[in-house]
Amino acid sequence: MTSPDQPFYRALLYLRAAGHDTGADTRERLQRLFRTQLDEHPELSTAYLLEKMPQWFDLSRPGPDRRLPPVTRSSIGYANE
């Protein structure tokens, strides 16, 4: 079952993963954009809305000074056999 808020929260995760600020201004703008799109076309899918994100927000690539965190290995508790 899909909740009405699911596209909004998926979009916030998308923005966060892209390195975009997800503060109050971004959330308000995102709600306004989604509401406008869904009022005009209620049948729109979450996938379509997510495809529009690069058009609505500046999602430029991170610069060379922004690095990914190091990969760390850990155990999930399985016995070694």
pLDDT digits (tens, 9 = 90+) for 51-67: 888 888 887 765 555 56
Distance CA 18, CA 55 (A): 13
pLDDT at position 29 is 93
Per-residue confidence at 75, pLDDT binned at 50, 70, 90?
low
How many DSSP H helices and E strands does the chain contain?
A: 4, 0
According to DSSP, residue 19 is labeled T
Q: Tens digit of pLDDT for each residue in 29-56?
A: 999 998 888 888 888 788 888 888 888 8
Neighbours of 52 (CB within 10 A): 14
According to DSSP, residue 4 is labeled T
Does the model's pTM come out above 0.85? no
